[in-house]
Amino acid sequence: MPLTAPLTLQERLAIFRDQVTLYPVSCERLANGRSDLDWLLAVLSAGVRIVQLRDKVSSDRELFAKAVAFRQHTSQAGALLLINNRLDIAMAVDADGVHLGNSDLPAEEARRLAPEMIIGVSANSKEQAASAAGRGASYYNIGPLFPTATKEGLSTFLGPEAIADFSATSSLPFTVMGGIKLGHVPELVACGARRIAVVTALTQAADIAAETRQWLAAIRCSAPTSSQKP
């Protein structure tokens, strides 16, 4: 069902908490020559409920034009749209939210400027996860779990055991990210992950839509029954 934009924060959070399992993140430079729009149409056709536009190389005008197209297609597909780093672009296109790294605009300021948006923050430590709610975040991302091509110069990776450690510090929903492969899904879900964010697992797939459907099915099949959920 198409989304009517803009939604309220509570409406957005309800979709995020109850319907998001796979969280695809774009990266055109790692998409084997395919455009971000090609990627977007493929993952949406597979039925994802959220996408993140991540583009750190386009000019502001190019990024804005891309975000406009992403907003149009995600709204038609009934999926949430988050923009990486750029609150200004997110606000300009009525995106559903923004994801902020630890060197980006502070989450407190983003919350002040965009009270109805989902605000995600990166958590590379338990302290960052524990402080996320107090900083105005709607969710936090645990990562990187494994070695990843999207982050250069890293030598420390958190591993699946970080999921229980980090999530014990905060009641906010969270995502996990960083070098995750399809074979990791059962272990990550068993450790408590409910929303798995991926970049190259989808951008580099030969058939992006088919691969996306595989990931959605794997998460669904690994999920605990309602009686087992915390």
**For residue range 107-158, what is the model confidence (pLDDT) as tens digits?**
999 999 999 999 999 999 999 999 999 999 999 999 999 988 776 666 679 9
Q: Is residue 227 part of a domain?
A: no
Q: Within a domain: residue 77?
A: yes
pLDDT at 225 over 90: no
CB 16 within 8 A of CB 50: yes
Q: Is residue 69 part of a domain?
A: yes
**How far apart are the C-alpha atoms of 72 and 57, rounded to whole Å?**
22
Evaluate whether residue 104 is within a structural domain. Answer: yes
Question: Distance between CA atoms of 148 and 191, rounded to whole angstroms?
Answer: 20
Q: Per residue in 164-181, pLDDT tens?
A: 999 999 999 999 999 999
CATH of residue 27's domain is: 3.20.20.70
How far is 40 from 61, CA to CA, in rounded Å?
19
pLDDT at 8 over 90: yes
Return the H-helix or E-strand segment holding 228: none
Which pLDDT belongs to residue 151? 65
Residue 227: the pLDDT is 38
Give the C-alpha separation, 221 to 173, whole Å.
20
**pLDDT tens digits, residue range 169-216?**
999 999 999 999 999 999 999 999 999 999 999 999 999 999 999 999
Token pair belonging to 21? 């399992």
For Cα atoms 59, 136, 151, give the angle at the middle one, nearest 5 degrees. 45
Starting at the earlier edge strand, list the strands of the sheet with 139-142.
22-24, 196-198, 174-176, 139-142, 118-123, 97-100, 80-84, 50-53
Query: What's residue 153's pLDDT?
Result: 62
Task: Return d(Cα 153, Cα 53) in angstroms, integer.
Answer: 23
Task: List Cβ<8 Å contacts ≥24 apart for 119-124.
Answer: 120/82, 120/175, 123/166, 123/174, 124/158
Gap between the Cα atoms of 169 and 158, Å rounded: 16
To the nearest whole percent, how much of the chain has pLDDT over 70?
94
Please state, in angstroms and rounded to a whole number, the distance separating the CA atoms of residues 8 and 62: 27
pLDDT tens column, 58-106: 999 999 999 999 999 999 999 999 999 999 999 999 999 999 999 999 9
Domain count, the chain: 1
Q: Per the domain annotation, does 4 fall within a domain?
A: no
Q: Is residue 125 part of a domain?
A: yes
Tell me if 230 is assigned to some domain: no
Residues 58, 60, 61, 65, Cα dihedral to 10°: 70
d(CA 172, CA 129): 9
First to last CA, the chain: 29
For residue 17, the enclosing domain spans 9-222
Where is 4: in which H helix or E strand? none
pLDDT of residue 4: 67
Q: Taking 80 as the threshold, does the pLDDT of residue 226 lie above it? A: no
For the segment 39-56, what is each residue's pLDDT rounded down to a tens digit?
999 999 999 999 999 999
